[in-house]
Amino acid sequence: MRTETLDNGLRVLLDPRPNSPVTGIAVHYDVGFRSEPEGRTGFAHLFEHLMFQGSENVARGEHFRHVQASGGTANAATHHDHTDYHQLVPPGALERVLFLEADRMRALRISAENLRTQVAVVQEEIRLQVTNRPYGGFPWTVLPGVLYETFPNAHNGYGDLRELERATVAECEAFFAAHYTPANAVLTISGPVDPDHALTLVHRHFGDIPAHPAAPR
């Protein structure tokens, strides 16, 4: 295991596994349900979707296509205290994935069209997973309000449909600037990688992303 912190604050963890047939690349951002502002519940989960809607050099939807064309898979998940974006790819696709992750960390493409589209996607996910389930299920969206009193802990992380509809591009840009910074992220690379070579690639793609402090927890 090898760790390093770039000048811009990005924490890097390398986990060489010579016998692994694939390489795993993940970026964990220290932002989750508890980081959402009052009146904008669901923002963290919404951003999980927005992060796949294009960046400065990657068109909308191209992240998945690049990873899949390399023979890999990609996914993401939002939790109370972090949001993770992860890929499993053949070893030769390491630099391609690092480029993709760095490009959206540097300059996510947030537009009114992307926001409107992803709000609709998230709303449909809420209906499918929570509100319209015919036989119910474990009430994890209700339980926090029973257990806790403070907003960060008590609110429903999936979000309120009406609050999501009122979200603006400016609010999304502010949320991105506050939480999606190198200093608020951990990059993990695990697989048959040479640590020195992997660090060279990390510096190449992430090293010039501007440093600025993350929002208080």
**Stretch 15-36: mean pLDDT:** 96
- Helix (H) / strand (E) element for 178: namely helix 169-179
Answer whether residue 151 is part of any domain: yes
* Chain mean position to CA 100: 12
- Helix (H) / strand (E) element for 206: namely helix 195-206
- Please tell me the chain's helix, strand, coil percentages from 3-state DSSP, rounded to the nearest 5: 45, 20, 40
Query: Mean pLDDT score of the chain, rounded to an integer?
Result: 93
Over residues 138-156, the pLDDT tens digits come to 677 788 889 999 999 999 8
Answer whether residue 139 is part of any domain: yes
Answer whether residue 122 is part of any domain: yes
**Stretch 188-196: mean pLDDT:** 97
Only one residue has tokens 């694939």, namely 22
Answer whether residue 213 is part of any domain: no
Over residues 97-123, the pLDDT tens digits come to 999 999 999 999 999 999 999 999 998
Q: Structural domain of residue 70, as residue ranges?
A: 2-206
Here the CATH number for the domain that contains residue 120 is: 3.30.830.10
Please tell me the total count of domains within the chain: 1
Instruction: State the DSSP string of 68-132.
Output: HHTT-EEEEEE-SS-EEEEEEE-GGGHHHHHHHHHHHHH-B---HHHHHHHHHHHHHHHIIIIIT
